[in-house]
Amino acid sequence: MQTTSIQYLKGIGPQRAKSFTARGVQTIEELLYYFPRRYEDRRNFAKISELNESQVYTIKAQILSAGQRNWRRRSAFSITEAAVGDNTGKISCIWFNQPYLKEYLIAGACVILYGKVERYNSRLQMSNPEFEFLDNQDNDSLNIGRIVPVYTLPQGFSQRGLRCIIKNALDEFLPKINDPLPFDLRSRHHLLNLAQSLLNIHFPQDLSLQQQAHTRLSFEEFFLFQLPLVLRKLNRKEKIGISHLVSGRLIEDFISGLPFQLTAAQQKVLAEIKADMASSQAMQRLLQGDVGSGKTVVAAIACLAAIQSAHQAAFMAPTEILARQHYEKISSQLEQLTFNGRKLRLALLVGQDKQKQKIYQKIKEGEIDLVIGTHALLQEELSFKSLSFIVIDEQHKFGVGQRALLPKKGNNPDVLIMTATPIPRTLAITLYGDLDISVINQLPPGRIPIKTLQFNQEDRNKAYALVKQELNYGRQAYIIYPVIEESYALDIAGAKKMFGELKAGEFKEFRLGLIHGKLKTREQNEVMLKFKNKQLDLLVATTILEVGIDIPNATCMIIASAQRFGLSQLHQLRGRIGRGNLQSLCILISDSQTPESKARLAAMVASGDGFYIAEEDLKIRGPGEFFGNRQHGLAELKIANPLIQMQLLKAARDEAISLINQDARLEERPHQLLKAKLFQRFPEYEKLMLVG
């Protein structure tokens, strides 16, 4: 029954089936898993005479009168207004810019309204309430006198129509439904069975059962999400990889030649990586660390372990600018080192390189020890003599598929994945459940926290003045714009035009550069080089600077139209300054008043801690958005929220581990339904099992 198309249900024809498809629902099972967006308790309605300001209510009332007016004379902005009343009082309801409502709001009709009560001109009113007409039938038991589900409506459906379709589907199919979660697991965690849960998630008998249904269905999502991760990890541990030589002169010489001491956190993480590399199991380790915590040098040391074991290493970065920067920095750090009586051989591999064929050849013949590059490393023609270690920098910039490509060029090489968007440890362990995790939880000593200020657009000259002061001390600065060309529609300034304006005006006594994604890579590199060599004072840029750029003399950053950026992105951008031991200053310019952008900017001003920022970002955006579609099956979580239900997530993960340990291929009888469900959800799971 699960896979039967919803077209066969009463009330759904081809047209409506199509609009459901747009919401990811094609089968009856998917329909049963199409959960309400919220509920209305229609067992008792609020009395109009008892409504309070700024609270949300459901009321049942009669329309007394309705009308429509324009907001201002000749303005296109319309207001529809209805006065409604019950036997205790009256209240006015208004809707903005929905002129078609007028036709529906007929005096005498009975409605249920849901919305927030506000005070306007000393009177209470509901603005933009959601509403539903009542049938004048006494037996409307789906829509009244109970806790009623409210759905996100596919096109062409009404709440009442959809409730009816879902109720019929539940009545018909729940008696036949089997629970994929094994009985003993369910009883260990006191989970409701599937039929009860589906019934109560749609039409809760009471709030406590709705809660239990929610818990059970969330557990199920987490559990199904964990199983493939846990199995992947197990499969990997069974694979034989390369056992590296991790202590030795090369590494020691390198560390003692560094102009600084490794921090305790760097040393701890390095020890974890070394232990993995020494073992013959293939490593898949996630290295989390805030911007500027010094991940690169740790990765470079790990590369040396590969080289001194007579293998090759590859280091992949998401942009050419970053790949170049890593190449230059690591080359200079390795310059003095020798191994087996020769210098180390590094190569840079980026998109448009004319030397590409030559470099390929050398890598293939083992004449390159370490290659640093962009996506160019993924090209099919590239093969290695003996690739044993891989670094993937700023992993969130790569898709899951891309990340999997590079390791195929070696024989179960060790992989180190780095990210500067750290998330809380419990969350990381569960979400990146197939990886081992290391954290650098400390910045190098001597770093002074970046000062972050927020200015209104009209005060931007004050921001410029502060930056000029810094430039006069011989420091450098960035000004970031969200777009290259300005947008009149959105009222945001573009980098190109502002570059011209600032150069001719506010900053005319300074040397300005402009960098953005539409420049040729060669031009980008030239600008970066000039900035690095202090031939430029101020760099006007777009988010092309978001990741990795490391120029310690740059101590100032202005971010224009700051509300246009996500929180993690703002933090990454800010991470371009404060990289030396000078006081740095970041100025966010924004007039935005939306609660969400205010929350983001406030978090930036309040904290420089990447873990805190990531947590706030997760809260503001929710996990699906935060991790993004490309990154994670997480975006597919419909009901579970790993932020709020961390305990449940942990329990689901523990159960997944014990199940995989006991019956990795889910061959035992009580696991058959579960296996079927997994294959259906994650078709690639079948392959995973075969590998194991």
Q: Which is nearer to Mg ion, 213 or 330 (CB)?
A: 330
689 binds, among Mg ion, ligand ADP, none (CB under 5 to 8 A by kind): none
What x-and-dash track marks residues 256-295 binding ligand ADP by CB under 6 A? ----xxxx--x----------------------x-xxxxx
Tell me which residue has tokens 């198309």: 5
Q: Please, what is the minimum distance in Å from the beta carbon of residue 525 to ligand ADP?
A: 18
Site for ligand ADP in 290-349 (CB under 6 A): 291-297
263 binds, among Mg ion, ligand ADP, none (CB under 5 to 8 A by kind): ligand ADP
Q: What is the dihedral of CA 458, 460, 462, 468, to 10 degrees?
A: -160
Q: Please, what is the minimum distance in Å from the beta carbon of residue 338 to ligand ADP?
A: 22
Are 372 and 318 within 8 A, CB to CB?
no
Q: Which is nearer to ligand ADP, 100 or 260 (CB)?
A: 260
Site for Mg ion in 542-601 (CB under 5 A): 548
Q: Please, what is the minimum distance in Å from the beta carbon of residue 314 to Mg ion?
A: 16
User: Which residue number places its CB atom closest to ligand ADP?
Assistant: 294
**Which letter, b or e, does each residue of 201-212 get, where b requires 16 or more Cβ atoms within 10 Å of its Cβ?**
bbbbeeeebbeb
Q: Please, what is the minimum distance in Å from the beta carbon of residue 215 to ligand ADP?
A: 39
Dist. CA 687–CA 692, nearest whole Å: 9
Are 187 and 174 within 8 A, CB to CB?
no
User: Sign of torsion, CA 372 376 377 382?
Assistant: negative
Q: Which is nearer to ligand ADP, 26 or 553 (CB)?
A: 553
555 scored as a contact of ligand ADP (CB under 6 A): no
Q: Please, what is the minimum distance in Å from the beta carbon of residue 259 to ligand ADP?
A: 8
289 scored as a contact of Mg ion (CB under 5 A): no
Tokens of 646: 């961390």
550 scored as a contact of ligand ADP (CB under 6 A): yes
What is the number of other CB atoms lying within 10 angstroms of the CB of residue 103?
A: 10
- The three-point CA angle 515-521-522 to 5° equals 100
Amino acid (one-letter) located at 433: G
Q: Please, what is the minimum distance in Å from the beta carbon of residue 618 to Mg ion?
A: 21
Q: Please, what is the minimum distance in Å from the beta carbon of residue 297 to ligand ADP?
A: 5
Cβ partners under 8 Å of residue 361, min gap 6: none
What x-and-dash track marks residues 406-425 binding ligand ADP by CB under 6 A? --------------x-----
Residue 584: is it exposed, middle or buried by C-beta count within 10 angstroms (0-12/13-18/19+)? buried
Q: Which is nearer to Mg ion, 181 or 303 (CB)?
A: 303
Q: Which is nearer to ligand ADP, 84 or 450 (CB)?
A: 450
Q: Which is nearer to ligand ADP, 209 or 544 (CB)?
A: 544
Q: Which is nearer to Mg ion, 149 or 548 (CB)?
A: 548
Query: Beta strands 436-440 and 476-480: pairing type?
Result: unpaired
User: How many residues sit close enough to ligand ADP to count as binding (CB under 6 A)?
Assistant: 18
Are 58 and 112 within 8 A, CB to CB?
yes
Q: Please, what is the minimum distance in Å from the beta carbon of residue 556 to ligand ADP?
A: 17
Q: Single out the residue of 581, 588, 618, 623 nearest to residue 606, CA to CA.
A: 588
Binds ligand ADP (CB under 6 A): choice among 129, 149, 413, 444: 444
Are 413 and 407 within 8 A, CB to CB?
yes
The region of 454-462, 497-505, 540-548, 653-661 touching Mg ion under the rule CB under 5 A is 540-548
Q: Please tell me whether residue 129 adopts helix, strand or coil conformation.
A: coil
Are 340 and 369 within 8 A, CB to CB?
no
Phi, psi at 387, each rounded to 5°: -80, 120
Dist. CA 345–CA 511, nearest whole Å: 37
Which contiguous run of DSSP H or E holds residue 532? helix 521-532
Dist. CA 327–CA 320, nearest whole Å: 10
Q: Which is nearer to ligand ADP, 173 or 254 (CB)?
A: 254
Q: Please, what is the minimum distance in Å from the beta carbon of residue 295 to ligand ADP?
A: 4
Site for ligand ADP in 559-598 (CB under 6 A): 579
Q: Which is nearer to ligand ADP, 111 or 577 (CB)?
A: 577
Please give the DSSP secondary-structure letter assigned to residue 501. H
582 binds, among ligand ADP, Mg ion, none (CB under 5 to 8 A by kind): none
Site for ligand ADP in 65-94 (CB under 6 A): none
> DSSP string of 330-368?
HHHHHTT-EETTEE--EEEE-TT-TTHHHHHHHHHTT--
Q: Using CB under 5 A as the criterion, which residues of the chain lie in contact with Mg ion when the complex forms?
A: 548
Q: Using CB under 6 A as the criterion, which residues of the chain lie in contact with ligand ADP when the complex forms?
A: 260-263, 266, 289, 291-297, 420, 444, 550, 552, 579
